[in-house]
Amino acid sequence: MDTVTWWSDVDWDAMARRARLAAFDLDNTLATSKQPMVPAMVQRFTRLTRAIDVAVVTGGRYELVVSQILDVLGSDTGRERLHLMPTSGSRYYRWDGRNWACVYAHDLSDDARRRIVASLERRAKQLGLWEETAWGGHIEDRGSQITFSALGQQAPADAKQAWDPDDVKKRRLVAAVAADLPEYKVRAGGYTSVDVSLPGMDKSYAIRELSERLGIGPGEIMFVGDRMAPGGNDYPAALAGAMAVAVSGPQDTLRLIDRLLERLPA
């Protein structure tokens, strides 16, 4: 199953009956890039954790999950029903009653990190994608994933969205780095980013892990993201069999959660 449905076209009565877990991308789905969830989203997200298991699956590092989500949630959040999967599911955190404990982390070796960083920098400069005007560093080591950001890690959302709207630049860089590093997974990440990790580490892996660990089918997982077209970093969730729902940004997600909450048991 690899069908993607636009959020306003979903049969929400059927979705509420079928879904046993609601999974979300983070940047430009639950929150603006690198920014905390707004109060309205915090309120809906909190209510959702008390009604159904909720997962956050993001290409970003764990520290961003903390600043964008955990730091703004209140004590009434259903933490025991929350699943945090940063770096595209190559790490997984659960609440153990006192702390957020790391269930697993598929970290890269020191040698792998050096080789990946060298390839990303060399190929980006060869292709003219190493932008001199940048907001922060171009390359970030996230432990289980190395991420190249053409405009820097802290680039504003409008600049990111305008840089490569048809993904042509990212596809060229992915192909070049993949040729250097065939033993690793190289994929387009966000609007300006390319991610490199161990093989198989994308959002389809996260769906399979959640399915196995919770004893539910992939088709009982709703996955919501803003980059659900083929080639987008949320699309692998659809390929894994999740009920894939596309949004254009957090405002759509707010409306989506409202429709789901109306139909879930209180």
How many percent of the chain have pLDDT more than 90? Answer: 84
DSSP 48: H
Radius of gyration of the chain (CA): 18
Judge if 98 and 21 occupy the same domain: yes
Judge if 8 and 102 occupy the same domain: yes
Write down the number of H helices and E strands in the chain: 9, 12
Q: Which of 2, 9, 13, 25 is catalytic?
A: 25
Judge if 120 and 179 occupy the same domain: yes
Which of these three, 197, 225, 240, is where a domain ends?
197
pLDDT reported for residue 200: 85
Residue 25, CB-side half-sphere exposure with 13 Å CA sphere: 33
Return the CATH number at 219: 3.40.50.1000
Judge if 238 and 148 occupy the same domain: no
Judge if 210 and 84 occupy the same domain: yes
pLDDT reported for residue 72: 97
Judge if 22 and 97 occupy the same domain: yes
| Residue 172 pLDDT grade (very low, low, confident, very high; cuts 50, 70, 90) | very high
Rounded CA-CA distance 51/204 in Å is: 24
pLDDT averaged over the chain? 94
Which of these three, 143, 176, 197, is where a domain ends?
197
pLDDT reported for residue 142: 87
Q: Which of 2, 9, 13, 27 is catalytic?
A: 27
Joined tokens for residue 143: 């432990």
Mean pLDDT of 52-57: 98
Does residue 24 sit in helix, strand or coil?
Answer: strand
Domain hosting residue 54, numbered range: 4-106+201-263
Q: At what angle do helices 168-180 and 110-126 cross, to 10 degrees?
A: 130
Closest to 237 measured CA to CA, from 25, 13, 52, 83: 25
How many domains does the structure of the chain reveal?
Answer: 2
| Residue 100 pLDDT grade (very low, low, confident, very high; cuts 50, 70, 90) | very high
Query: Are the beta carbons of 245 and 224 closer than 8 angstroms?
Result: yes
This prediction has a pTM of 0.85
Return the CATH number at 139: 3.30.1240.20
pLDDT reported for residue 33: 85
Judge if 219 and 252 occupy the same domain: yes
pLDDT reported for residue 248: 97
Closest to 20 measured CA to CA, from 70, 83, 76, 64: 83
Judge if 15 and 102 occupy the same domain: yes
| Sheet strands (E) in the chain | 4-6, 21-24, 53-57, 82-85, 91-95, 100-105, 139-141, 145-149, 185-188, 193-197, 221-225, 243-246
Judge if 130 and 58 occupy the same domain: no
Closest to 7 measured CA to CA, from 240, 264, 262, 260: 260
Closest to 29 measured CA to CA, from 17, 44, 16, 51: 44
Mean pLDDT of 27-38: 94
For residue 22, what are the contacts with CB-CB under 8 A and spacing of at least 6?
48, 52, 53, 54, 55, 221, 222, 224, 260
Mean pLDDT of 171-183: 97
Per the annotation, the verdict on 110 as an active-site residue is no
Task: Answer yes or no: is 195 a known binding residue.
Answer: yes
Q: Quick check: 232 pLDDT over 90?
A: no
Task: Answer yes or no: is 252 a known binding residue.
Answer: no
Per the annotation, the verdict on 27 as an active-site residue is yes
pLDDT reported for residue 51: 96
Q: Quick check: 1 pLDDT over 70?
A: no
Q: Quick check: 2 pLDDT over 80?
A: no
Q: Quick check: 212 pLDDT over 80?
A: yes
pLDDT reported for residue 52: 97
Task: Answer yes or no: is 27 a known binding residue.
Answer: yes
**What are 108-163's pLDDT values in tens digits?**
999 999 999 999 999 999 999 999 888 999 999 988 899 999 999 889 988 998 99
For residue 27, what are the contacts with CB-CB under 8 A and spacing of at least 6?
33, 34, 58, 59, 60, 190, 226
pLDDT reported for residue 201: 87
